[in-house]
């Protein structure tokens, strides 16, 4: 018996169903659902009927995960670590920078609250002095 020809799924779409992602990536839908439970960064939205709706970004993640697991022989934990490190590199800020920013913000707050400003001695004009004597 001959296998029925599958229609080709376009990879230029904005959204995909789980079956379409499964076909593009050559991965069974149950594997995709398992990966969703293992990798917090792979979370497709669900439409009104509860079906998973994957974006192009999700498709790219699935293909990267597949490559790491099947070709580069990473473990699930290894993939988690790799994506965690990638995200940290992209968004990381040194503790020194955080402390410097915090110090500057405190200085600004003190200035705004008047804690940093030393009271300047007020000069009283001679006119005011003479008026004060009258009171």
**In whole angstroms, what is the distance from residue 55 CA to residue 21 CA?**
10
The pLDDT of residue 126 is 57
Is 29 inside any structural domain? yes
**In whole angstroms, what is the distance from residue 15 CA to residue 120 CA?**
65
CA distances from 81 to 25, 59, 109, 118, 125 (A): 22, 20, 39, 52, 72
Is 85 inside any structural domain? no
* Domains of the chain: total: 1
- Where is 81: in which H helix or E strand? helix 76-91
**In whole angstroms, what is the distance from residue 29 CA to residue 20 CA?**
9
Q: Print the domain residue range for 51.
A: 15-73
Residue by residue, pLDDT tens for the chain (135 residues) are: 444 445 455 667 789 999 999 999 999 999 999 999 999 889 999 999 989 999 999 999 999 999 999 999 999 999 999 988 655 444 556 677 777 888 888 888 888 888 755 555 566 555 555 555 545
Is 80 inside any structural domain? no
Is 130 inside any structural domain? no
Of 51, 29, 55, nearest to 42 (Cα)? Answer: 55
Is 131 inside any structural domain? no
Q: Which residues pair with 46 in a beta bridge?
A: 52
Is 115 inside any structural domain? no
Q: What is the DSSP string of 16-29?
A: E-HHHHHHHHT--H
To the nearest 5 percent, what fractions of the chain are helix, strand and coil? 60, 5, 35
H helices within 45-75, ranges in order? 56-66
Is 31 inside any structural domain? yes
Is 90 inside any structural domain? no
Q: What is the CATH number of the domain that holds 39?
A: 1.10.1660.10
The pTM for the full model equals: 0.56
The pLDDT of residue 66 is 95
The pLDDT of residue 83 is 85
């Amino acid at each position: 018996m001959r296998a029925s020809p599958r229609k080709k799924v376009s990879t230029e779409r904005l959204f995909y169903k789980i079956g379409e992602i499964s076909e593009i990536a050559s991965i069974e839908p149950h594997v995709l659902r398992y990966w969703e439970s293992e990798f917090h960064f792979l979370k497709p939205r669900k439409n009104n009927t509860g079906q998973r709706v994957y974006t192009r970004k999700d498709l790219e993640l699935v293909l990267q995960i597949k490559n790491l697991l099947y070709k580069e022989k990473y473990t699930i934990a290894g993939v988690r670590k790799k994506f965690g490190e990638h995200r940290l590199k992209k968004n990381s800020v040194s503790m020194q920078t955080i402390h410097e920013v915090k110090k500057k913000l405190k200085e600004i707050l003190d200035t705004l609250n008047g804690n940093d400003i030393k009271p300047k001695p007020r000069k009283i004009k001679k006119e005011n002095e003479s008026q004060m004597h009258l009171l």
